[in-house]
Amino acid sequence: MDFGLLIKGFETVLQPSGLLFILLGVTGGILIGSLPGLTATMGVALLVPFTFGLPVHHGLGMLLGIFCGAIYGGSISAILIRTPGTPAAAATVLDGYPLSQQGQAGRALTISLFSSFIGGITGVLIMIFLSPQISRFALKFSSPEYFALAVFGLSIIISVSGRSVIKGLMAGFFGLLVSTIGFDPISGYPRFTFGSVNLLEGPAFIPTLIGLFALSEVLKGVEVIYTQEKIKNDITRYFPNMSDIKKCFQTIIKSGILGTFIGSIPGAGSDIAAFVAYSEAKRTAKNPEAFGRGEIKGVAAAESANNACTGGAMIPMLSLGVPGDAVTAVLLGALVIQGLRPGPLLFKDHIDVVYSVFAGMMMANIMMLLVGMMGIRLFVRIISINRNTLLPIIFLLSLVGAYSMRNSLFDVWLAIGFGVIGYFMQKYDFPVSPILLSLILGPMAEANLRRALIVSQGDPMILVSRPISALLLIAAVVSIITSARRQMKLEKQVLDLAQVTSSR
Amino acid sequence: MNRADLIAGLLGIFLSLYVFWATANFPDDDVLLLGPSFVPFLLALGLCLSSLGLIFKAWVSKKPNGETGFNWKDPGIVRAGMALFVTILYCLALPICGFILTSIFYLVVLMYLLKQRNYLKMFTVALGVTFAVFGIFRMMLKITLPMGIFG
């Protein structure tokens, strides 16, 4: 860590032209992130060609701005219209949307922005000071550890099951089965594709998400449009109030550190980081039953972790030349196009670029906070539009979002299909969140379980004989037992209440 | 007896039976030890057991737990069904008539269905939203939206 070089990096980034490119990137990123169907990866990939002619510092600043902005932007539509703009915001829906339903959209949006900012800064600081050490630790992750990490994330299925554990488990198994559609990750054998080429890579994640969350919600909205009272979502502030900051600060920092670390593990992206941090926040909370019903800490944990992941994902990319996630893979390509080769040699030959990346990411997060604060009033105005005008617009945006992922009409049908499934699930009190969790973590769990068992020649002890994996599995078991006990208590309370009501 | 849960449980069992049948036809893998059927089989087993649990609970429960019922004649459900029908028509028309024309009609019809009767507002919103979405996706992000026979 060389402070002189860091100051030089800031000097480059803080030039008016440098700031302008970061501002453009952040604003574009927030817009892309908030549009369902457009991911941070897509945003960065779309703008890479525009950066060819720019000086390397400016081009990188703009791309980093898109990266940070898009990850935050995903939370806006997740909170306001129950549609995660990016997969990274999938966990934000769980508490963000209920808050919005309670007339607290402004509160959710401000804490989401603040957590994204603090998480992002945490990620950058860890990236600056601990890159080499974290890279070395992250490289110790192999199949058993990845599998254990996925199981730990999946262990919250029971606690997001709502009123019935059995229904939650059914939804979880259904989601995991859906995640097995397509090529088998090890042998390449096509499973449950019914001969359709469109299903060879499995059901596309974003259209499935749009169907389960957005379309099902819009169908429900159409059903109850005249019976449901309109929720008033006024916003009086651009920044979270002190009591929310005090309540969430510890969670934000903890999730930021967790998110950075998960981001630094190659292959584990910000969606996984957000769910693992959410799971951890819920596990350690005094009132875990409030999660999923509009708990502000749930939004804070998910948003802090997914933005911290941006810094984390840069760590192996810069120091080892191994991208931490899909976006950094595209960024790696952008660096290569500029004639730079990420990895140990980058630190030796182009250390100035490394430090301008550090400074650029820091500035991108600060810019994200400013642009986000200016936009909050505008975002909230979206849900104050009359519902007989807003619902058709959300319908259209959802369908276009599903289509735009692969320019495929099949994906639109997929979204509609999952929309109907989600609608009936909601109607009959089946939780949808376990499906979401399974779709994100299922493929990671399956591929790594089988890889680990192949390595050990079928001996399952490999999963518990390695310290990191054993620790994660123990944490998962503890989480399952405690949440199962809590859920059963809750179910009993609901049953008792129903009996008392019926006896009256 | 909770009928909705009973039906959901039966659907779960049918799905797991299908997975058992399908995985039985997957090839074995002697080299990799665990073939492509290993994980789906385990998951189907889990689904089957939890479905049986739900059926048992539904059978013994005296009072529907959280069941709101499904009345096909309920105006809200009819409205949601019609919105779904219009959406299906939209998807069918999209590759033929293209994004702009189909989306304008789709938005107008949906707004009418939701009892918006300010026709000026309906057409302004439909035109504005359609062209804004088209502009962002097609012009700015270079994502091709269906042009249909007019393209």
Flag if B33 and A187 touch (Cβ within 8 Å). Answer: no
Distance between CA atoms of B35 and A450, rounded to whole angstroms? 9
The mean pLDDT value for A124-144 works out to 82
Distance between CA atoms of A134 and A322, rounded to whole angstroms? 13
Quote the tokens at residue A456. 């050990």
The mean pLDDT value for A416-440 works out to 89
Chain B residue numbers with beta carbons less than 8 Å from the beta carbon of A186 are 29, 32, 34, 36
Give me the percent of chain B exceeding a pLDDT of 90.
62
The mean pLDDT value for A120-127 works out to 93
Give A476's pLDDT tier (boundaries 50, 70, 90).
Answer: confident
Chain A residue numbers with beta carbons less than 8 Å from the beta carbon of B15 are 174, 177
Quote the tokens at residue A272. 């996984």
According to DSSP, residue B144 is labeled P
Q: Which range is least confidently modeled, A88-97, A375-384, A443-452?
A: A375-384
Nearest CA in chain A to B125: A389
Distance between CA atoms of A20 and A35, rounded to whole angstroms? 23
- Distance (Å) from the C-alpha of residue B148 to the closest C-alpha of chain A? 13
Flag if A392 and B142 touch (Cβ within 8 Å). Answer: no
Phi first, then psi: what are they for A183, rounded to 5°? -60, 135
Residue of B82, B79, B67, B73 lying closest to A223 (CA atoms): B79
According to DSSP, residue A198 is labeled G
Chain B residue numbers with beta carbons less than 8 Å from the beta carbon of A169 are 46, 50, 53
Out of B22, B50, B67, name the one closest to residue A192 (CB). Answer: B22
The mean pLDDT value for A317-331 works out to 79
Out of A189, A224, A392, name the one closest to residue B36 (CB). Answer: A189
Residue pair A417/A211 in contact (Cβ under 8 Å)? The answer is yes
Q: Give the HSE-up count for residue A70: Cα atoms under 13 Å, Cβ half-sphere.
A: 31
Chain B residue numbers with beta carbons less than 8 Å from the beta carbon of A416 are 84, 87-88, 91
Distance between CA atoms of A419 and A216, rounded to whole angstroms? 4
Spatial CB neighbours of A165, under 8 Å, sequence gap ≥ 6: A158, A484, A487, A488, A491
Chain B residue numbers with beta carbons less than 8 Å from the beta carbon of A225 are 76, 79, 114
Nearest CA in chain B to A173: B47
Residue pair A372/A70 in contact (Cβ under 8 Å)? The answer is no
Of residues A482 and A297, more confidently modeled: A297
pLDDT of amino acid A230: 65
DSSP assignment string, A446-466: HHHHHHHHHHTTT-GGGGTSS
Question: Which of B61, B97, B141, B144 to mutate to test binding with chain A, by most A CBs within 10 Å of its CB?
Answer: B141
Residue pair A256/A69 in contact (Cβ under 8 Å)? The answer is no
pLDDT tens per residue across span A288-311 = 888 888 999 999 999 999 999 999
Work out how many CB contacts closer than 8 A connect A with B: 176
Flag if A416 and B87 touch (Cβ within 8 Å). Answer: yes
Chain B residue numbers with beta carbons less than 8 Å from the beta carbon of A458 are 33-34
Quote the tokens at residue A64. 């980093």
**B121-124 contacts: CB < 8 A, separation 24 or more?**
B121/A389
Q: Which range is least confidently modeled, A36-45, A392-401, A444-453?
A: A36-45
Distance between CA atoms of A33 and A17, rounded to whole angstroms? 24
Check pLDDT > 90 for residue B85: yes
Quote the tokens at residue A209. 């998400």
Kindly report the CA angle at A441 between A437 and A443, in degrees rounded to 5? Answer: 130
The mean pLDDT value for A195-213 works out to 88
Distance between CA atoms of A322 and A272, rounded to whole angstroms? 18
